[in-house]
Structure formats: structure tokens, C-alpha cells
């Protein structure tokens, strides 16, 4: 686990777009993209079902799960942060097919590139619980540096 994390951080992320584009079958190419999202979502929902089923089976086996335990449970702040990061990844992944158009735009125009690579981050940890992983400290400097020059 540790090994995967440290080596992953140093590497350039694997490309997840398809060079040469993807085949289109419907009259409106958007329909193909929506289908992609729906199927991605279905696979995530199924993964979740299997995980929940496995967890419940384990709990029942040890006798540690009561009837309303799951509904009554609140995540700890640490768990919220972790979930927030995973949720962001889940959503990014679900709509990855749309990111291709943005990346093509960024490749074409320097100002488009600026908009894409701009990291929010001004509000730091407050939003992190819902939308961000609590790493990546350095890129967050950019917007605040920009603010100062404007003043």
C-alpha cells in the first residue's frame, strides 16, 4: 500500500483518454457519452453492492451488527475527509469522458490551459471534506499570489 502511494506520487499520471477518438454510433455524439456515464455508474453501484453485502455478511457472522446500526452511524471527521476525496475521484471518473474536450482545448490555447490547471484551494480544508483530498499543498499558492498582485 505505502509502496504504491509513494511511487505513484512521483510519476506522471497514466493517460486515460483515447488517442484517435472513440467511435460514435448515435445521431448525436452526446448520446454515446451519456451511455458511457450510465454504464460507468452502473459498475460503481454494483461494486458497492458487493462490498456492502460482504461487510454485512462478516458482521452478521461475528454478531456485531444491530438492526439500525448502519442508519444511525455517523462518520468521524477523518472518515469524512477520506470519503470526500474518494467521492471526488468517483465523480471525476464518472464524467472523465467529458474531460477529453477540455484537454483538447487546453492543448490548443495557452489561456484555456490556465483555466484548466488553476487549482481552487483558496478555502483549503473547509471544502476539502466534500470535494478534495487533503494533499497537494503547493499548487494552492497560485490563486492567492494572483490575488495579491491585483490588490
**Can you tell me whether residue 70 is helix, strand or coil?**
helix
Alpha helices in the chain (DSSP H): 2-10, 29-62, 69-72, 77-94, 96-108, 110-117, 125-131, 141-150
User: Using the rule CB under 8 A, is 54 a contact of other proteins?
Assistant: no
Query: Is 113:106 a contact under the CB 8 Å cutoff?
Result: yes
Cell of 132: 478534495
User: Using the rule CB under 8 A, is 41 a contact of other proteins?
Assistant: no
User: Using the rule CB under 8 A, is 70 a contact of other proteins?
Assistant: yes
Q: How many residues bind other proteins (CB under 8 A)?
A: 42
Nearer to other proteins, 57 or 144 (CB): 144
Sites of contact with other proteins (CB under 8 A): 29-30, 33, 70-71, 73, 83-84, 87-88, 90-92, 95, 98-99, 101-102, 104-106, 108-109, 111-113, 115-116, 118, 120-123, 126-127, 129-131, 143, 147, 150-151
Amino acid at each position: 500500500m505505502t509502496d504504491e502511494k509513494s511511487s505513484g506520487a512521483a510519476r506522471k499520471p497514466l493517460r486515460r483518454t483515447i488517442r484517435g477518438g472513440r467511435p460514435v454510433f448515435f445521431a448525436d455524439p452526446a448520446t454515446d457519452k451519456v451511455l458511457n456515464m450510465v454504464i460507468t455508474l452502473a459498475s460503481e453501484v454494483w461494486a458497492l453492492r458487493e462490498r456492502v453485502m460482504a461487510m454485512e455478511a462478516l458482521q452478521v457472522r461475528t454478531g456485531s451488527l444491530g438492526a439500525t446500526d448502519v442508519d444511525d452511524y455517523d462518520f468521524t471527521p477523518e472518515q469524512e475527509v477520506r470519503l470526500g476525496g474518494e467521492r471526488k475521484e468517483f465523480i471525476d471518473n464518472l464524467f472523465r469522458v467529458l474531460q477529453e474536450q477540455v484537454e483538447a482545448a487546453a492543448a490548443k490555447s495557452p489561456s484555456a490551459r490556465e483555466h484548466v490547471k488553476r487549482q481552487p484551494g483558496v478555502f483549503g480544508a473547509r471544502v476539502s471534506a466534500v470535494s478534495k483530498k487533503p494533499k497537494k499543498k503547493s499548487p494552492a499558492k497560485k490563486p492567492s499570489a494572483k490575488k495579491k498582485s491585483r490588490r
